[in-house]
Every structure is written in structure tokens, then in C-alpha cells.
């Protein structure tokens, strides 16, 4: 039995062999992307004046981060350390 080529009316071609739909991925931004578009994107609305960002760290980096924050009196939070590091990084861009 042969398979016919898909028509425009057929199911999307983003399914895997299990038959479950897969999320569509946006194309990766090019290196020459215009940063002004990013500035025009509305911020998500939350209960604070900040936007939550999740960062996943391996165990070694996490323990180093916690140890670094514990050196200060009063202790610096992970939030404070990461915001300061991000600010320093963005200033050098």
C-alpha cells in the first residue's frame, strides 16, 4: 500500500510518529535582528513592576552562586547577584 502526498487539507506536518502534535517553533532570530522590535514588544502584565525570568543552572553554578551571596553581610540574594551581573554585561554590549 503506497502513501499519497499530503494535500493542503491534510493534518499539519508537525506531528511525530506517535501522532501527538508538536509545538510549532518560531524561526531563530538572525544575528542582524533589529533590537528596536524587541523594545516595542509589550511587557507581560504581572502583579509587580517586574517581569519574571527563569534561569536553570547546573549544580556547580548554583552552589557557587549561593556561596558567593553568603560572603556578604547582609547576604546578597540570587536576584541581586544576577541583576547586577546582567546590568554589567549589558553595559559592555
Estimate to the nearest angstrom the gap between the alpha carbon of 79 and the chain centroid.
17
pLDDT at position 30: 57
pLDDT reported for residue 41: 72
pLDDT of residue 93: 84
CB-based contact 66:59 (threshold 8 Å): no
Q: What's the confidence (pLDDT) of residue 57?
A: 94
pLDDT at residue 25 in the model = 63
pLDDT at 91 over 60: yes
17-71 pLDDT, tens digit per residue, is 556 666 666 665 555 555 666 667 776 666 677 888 899 999 999 999 999 999 9
* Residue corresponding to grid cell 541581586: 80
Query: pTM score, two decimals?
Result: 0.50
Q: Where are the domains of the chain?
A: 55-93
Amino acid at each position: 500500500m503506497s502513501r499519497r502526498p499530503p494535500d493542503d487539507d491534510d493534518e499539519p506536518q508537525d506531528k511525530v510518529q506517535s501522532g501527538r502534535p508538536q509545538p510549532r517553533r518560531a524561526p531563530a532570530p538572525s544575528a542582524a535582528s533589529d533590537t528596536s522590535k524587541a523594545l516595542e514588544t509589550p511587557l507581560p502584565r504581572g502583579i509587580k513592576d517586574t517581569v519574571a525570568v527563569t534561569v536553570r543552572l547546573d549544580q556547580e553554578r548554583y552552589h557557587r552562586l549561593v556561596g558567593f551571596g553568603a560572603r556578604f553581610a547582609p547576604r546578597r540574594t540570587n536576584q541581586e547577584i544576577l541583576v547586577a551581573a546582567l546590568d554589567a554585561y549589558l553595559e559592555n554590549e
